[in-house]
Structure 1
């Protein structure tokens, strides 16, 4: 069973492989990271870990028993009890309910471990998979229209005040 793990330096090789193997797949629904992301991967990972240590962000990986990264689930811009949720799944790990289960689990962590009360998210209108995960996990559209790299999208929000340990067990 895959496990949600907080990002660590030793995840670097598996995380890089995840991003490289799924680059074309990701570009179909979210903005491409560009070549510089891969060239400067180690420096970028160090910067992320520094932000995490400062409490500004909480980065997580969904890791298979063999150590392969199946997904990324990030809480960024943590401030005043809220954060923005972002996630991406490996193509081969989609359509199995893993993203939904992991977002539910992350909502519990956000409330119980990180003391957050609200999560925000955004998804492109044509990204049906992400929008479905958000609505299945209790996020509601805010009515806010957003632009995600020139693609129209919607903002979402989830109140975490009533989240308990049982919510992450679904």
Structure 2
């Protein structure tokens, strides 16, 4: 059973392998990270750990029994009790509910451990899979914007830190 873990220094090799193996798959739905991401991965990983240590971000990896990374779920731009959620799941691991489960887990952690009251997320309007994951994890669409010529749907979810569990109710 895959396990969600907070990002650590020793995750670097498995995380780099995950990003390399899925680069083409991810580039079909989100902008490619570019070659510099891979050539400077060690420095980037260290920078992520520093951001995590100062509380401005919280990074998580979903690992299998052998320690291979199957996905990542990140909370970035932490400020004023809120953060932006982003995630990606390996192509070979899609269709098994792992994204929904991992996102739900991070939503719980966000409120219970990080004290966040709300999370924001966004995905392209034509990314039905990602939109479904967010809705199943309790996010509610709050608007749509155009980003570089593509429609992007914005979502929001209150966390248990504010006393709400699941989707935000009307009038809450």
- With structure 1 as the length reference, what TM-score do the two structures score? 0.93
SS in structure 2 of the partner of residue 153 of structure 1: strand
Deviation at 1:163, TM superposition (A): 3.1
Deviation at 1:127, TM superposition (A): 1.1
Across the aligned residues of Structure 1 and Structure 2, the Cα RMSD in angstroms comes to 1.2
Aligned 1:48-127 pairs, distance under 5 A: 48-127=48-127
Q: Deviations over 1:56-100 (max 9, x none)?
A: 000000000100000010000001110000000000000000100
How many residues align structurally? 163
Deviation at 1:143, TM superposition (A): 1.4
Q: Contact 2:85/2:121 (CA < 8 Å) preserved in 1?
A: yes
CA distance, structure 2, for counterparts of residue 76 and residue 99 of structure 1: 18
| Residues 120 and 42 of structure 1: CA distance in aligned 2, closer, same or farther (over 3 Å) | same
Deviation at 1:115, TM superposition (A): 0.3
Q: Contact 1:55/1:78 (CA < 8 Å) preserved in 2?
A: yes
SS in structure 1 of the partner of residue 84 of structure 2: strand
Greater relative contact order (Cα 8 A, min sep 6): structure 1 or 2?
Answer: 1
Q: Contact 1:146/1:155 (CA < 8 Å) preserved in 2?
A: no
Deviation at 1:104, TM superposition (A): 0.8
Deviation at 1:146, TM superposition (A): 4.4
CA distance, structure 2, for counterparts of residue 27 and residue 71 of structure 1: 15
- With structure 2 as the length reference, what TM-score do the two structures score? 0.92
| Structure 2 gap ranges (5+) | 167-172
SS in structure 1 of the partner of residue 14 of structure 2: helix
CA distance, structure 2, for counterparts of residue 144 and residue 57 of structure 1: 25
Q: Contact 2:144/2:151 (CA < 8 Å) preserved in 1?
A: no
